[in-house]
Amino acid sequence: MTAPAPTERVLATLNADGSRRWIRPKPSRGKFWQRRRSVAYGLMLLFLAIPHFRLNGKPLMLLDLPRREFTLFGTTYLPTDTLLLMLLGISLLIGVFLMTALFGRVWCGWACPQTVYMEFLFRPIERWIEGGWAKSRQFDKRGQHLHPRRLAKYAIYAVLAAILGNSFLAYFVGTEELARWMMQSPYDHPTPFVLMAITTVAVFFDFTWFREQTCLVACPYGRWQAVLLDKQSLIVSYDPARGEPRGQPKKALPMAPAGGDCVDCNACVLTCPTGIDIRDGLQMECIHCTQCVDACAAVMRRTGKPEGLVRYTSKEALAGHVRHVIRPRTVLYPLALLAFFGAFIYALETKDKADVTVLGAIGEPFTREPDGSVVNQVRVKIANRSSATQRYAVDLLDAEGAKVIAPELPLNVVNGKTVVTSLFIILPETAFHDGARKVRFRVSDGGAFVQEFPWRLRGPNEHDSGHSEREK
């Protein structure tokens, strides 16, 4: 039994029989396309360059997932910086909400890497190698997926995918580590090699086969539009009041009503990289790339009509009302953004220059020397959050007569790194009462960072539970 055919298109990239509908848009090189191209080339350069830039001796951006350390603009955030990362994340999210409320899907059309690379790198190469968008459609129609021109295109795509995939990896492992991976034999580093291969294949797959489906079925941002956009938001839209009824009035009927400005030439549909018809109204598939704006503007110029039948506008403006930029969401979002980003800056500026944790020994809480004195092992974990290498001293307070053995002190800790060191504290048995001795540790970097930590050393006692614990 065969499944009933859908009565209407369910996805712009599917034919009625469920097969792939390849989209080979005809480029419309109008004024928006030229501006987007400048932005796209700038962003491509930025993407390649950012991992190589340094600030405060650190990469501009390094997302070290295995160590859970994130370096952004010269500042390293450690796993303990959850509050900072949360404030930054919420600020970014509100920023996206605000941008969408004001400018619609400007991110999708102008800055999203998927659009930027697809429309200004991969598709132009496709048109160049295959002989133009119409030729590409012919290859599709004839099923010539392995035509020599297509194979040449795939080869170039593979090289580009390797470059982009490895550039992407540089954001996670750093340029030095990536260079090391690239210089060594895959046998010496099989895991990184597999990682590089997977990234390259993923980029190749995305831009060769998956393409606009990333926007249509995989990206959640498009689906958020229903709640992020309102009637005042800037959208790319066809003006039905001006365009309808479509097509020219028939010459044979001189008394026929004048047609709208839309000559039903389909130029806006042919140029759409997601395969939709802007005249069907605002659609989730529309990435607001403005290609239909440029295509229709060219048609309007040819037909002697004013440009703007398809344009940047808003639902409210299309209904003949004034578009209001100031409205509840464009007031509330900036206020929320100010609050969260302000809190982030405040937390960043006032955060301690180091994270210190005092820990007990692993195993026995204390041991005995042959002369009966008691030895406590205490571990001190220091995470240097400052912007330079620091030399930390750890002093024991309130423990007169104690002997401290700490061969690693003072301790050098590189900025952004965490080091654990051990101290052995030897006290006579008489220094303990009820199996414990209250002391303090003072950790300082010789500058502004000085912090004290109360601690309970453990000693012999008939009630001793056998555990060392930090004083509450």
Q: Which residues here bind ligand SF4, judged by CB under 6 A?
A: 236, 238, 243, 262-268, 271-274, 276, 278-279, 286-292, 295-296, 299, 309-310
Cβ closest to ligand SF4, residue 110 vs residue 157: 110
Length of the chain measured in residues: 472
Amino acid at 253: L
Give the Cα separation of 199 and 371 in Å (integer). 62
Q: How far is the CB of 47 from ligand SF4 (least distance, A)?
A: 22
Structure tokens at 301: 């110029």
Q: How far is the CB of 114 from ligand SF4 (least distance, A)?
A: 12
Q: How far is the CB of 307 from ligand SF4 (least distance, A)?
A: 10
Give the Cα separation of 127 and 26 in Å (integer). 9
State the DSSP H helix or E strand holding residue 278, giving kind and residue range, or none if neither.
none
Q: How far is the CB of 214 from ligand SF4 (least distance, A)?
A: 13
Give the Cα separation of 378 and 263 in Å (integer). 82
Cβ closest to ligand SF4, residue 164 vs residue 299: 299
DSSP-based three-state secondary structure for 202: helix
Give the Cα separation of 97 and 102 in Å (integer). 9
CB 181 within 8 A of CB 189: yes
Q: How far is the CB of 264 from ligand SF4 (least distance, A)?
A: 5
Give the Cα separation of 355 and 465 in Å (integer). 29
Q: How far is the CB of 140 from ligand SF4 (least distance, A)?
A: 19
DSSP-based three-state secondary structure for 438: strand
Cβ closest to ligand SF4, residue 203 vs residue 310: 310
Angle at which helices 123-130 and 148-173 pack, to 10 degrees?
A: 160
Q: How far is the CB of 219 from ligand SF4 (least distance, A)?
A: 13
Q: How far is the CB of 162 from ligand SF4 (least distance, A)?
A: 29
Q: How far is the CB of 122 from ligand SF4 (least distance, A)?
A: 16
Cβ closest to ligand SF4, residue 264 vs residue 398: 264
State the DSSP H helix or E strand holding residue 381, giving kind and residue range, or none if neither.
strand 374-384
Cβ closest to ligand SF4, residue 267 vs residue 423: 267
- Residue 234 vs residues 82, 219, 276: alpha-carbon distances, Å: 35, 21, 19
Cβ closest to ligand SF4, residue 91 vs residue 290: 290
Place of tokens 């099989």: 190
Instruction: Pick the closest to residue 201 from 172, 150, 148, 160 (CA basis).
Output: 160
Q: How far is the CB of 233 from ligand SF4 (least distance, A)?
A: 14
Cβ closest to ligand SF4, residue 109 vs residue 360: 109
φ, ψ of residue 275 to 5 degrees: the values are: 75, 25
State the DSSP H helix or E strand holding residue 92, giving kind and residue range, or none if neither.
helix 82-103
8-state DSSP, 207: I
C-alpha 410 chain-centroid distance: 39
Angle at which helices 291-303 and 31-49 pack, to 10 degrees?
A: 160
Burial level of 254, CB count in 10 A (0-12/13-18/19+)? exposed
Cβ closest to ligand SF4, residue 25 vs residue 51: 25
Q: How far is the CB of 5 from ligand SF4 (least distance, A)?
A: 25
Whether residue 460 has a cis bond before it, omega within 30° of 0: no
8-state DSSP, 230: -
Cβ closest to ligand SF4, residue 69 vs residue 239: 239
Q: How far is the CB of 265 from ligand SF4 (least distance, A)?
A: 4
Indicate the pairing of strand 235-238 with strand 310-313: antiparallel
Instruction: Pick the closest to residue 78 from 308, 294, 355, 306 (CA basis).
Output: 355
Cβ closest to ligand SF4, residue 311 vs residue 437: 311
Cβ closest to ligand SF4, residue 62 vs residue 310: 310
CB 25 within 8 A of CB 272: yes
